[in-house]
Amino acid sequence: MLNQDIKILNETGVHARPASALTQLASSFVSEIKFVKDDTIYDAKSIINILSMGLKFEEIINLQVEGIDEADAIVAITELFETKFGEE
């Protein structure tokens, strides 16, 4: 299993459009992809789970990936956050 802390760089947080992009990307991988925020685990392949995290600017969450394509998944998802979902 790989894990990585991720800082939310979008000033508007993670709302519907970035949440949709995130779940689409996560769903393209076989690996199990989860986020941990405040000791709660969220499924990255569920838009409802992503939106329910209520991610705001500069919050830090932990990304956990486990499976056969975990290395590719963690790189791709981290890059999505680092590029602010293409919003800015």
Instruction: Name the active-site residue from 3, 15, 43, 47.
Output: 15
pLDDT digits (tens, 9 = 90+) for 77-86: 999 999 998 8
CATH of 2-86, one of 1.20.120.1460, 3.60.20.10, 3.40.309.10, 3.30.1340.10: 3.30.1340.10
pLDDT confidence of residue 88: 66
Is 15 considered catalytic here?
A: yes
Look up the pTM and report it. Answer: 0.93
pLDDT digits (tens, 9 = 90+) for 6-42: 999 999 999 999 999 999 999 999 999 999 999 999 9
Say if residue 59's pLDDT is above 70: yes
Give every CB contact of residue 87 below 8 A, 6+ residues apart in sequence: 10, 12, 17, 18
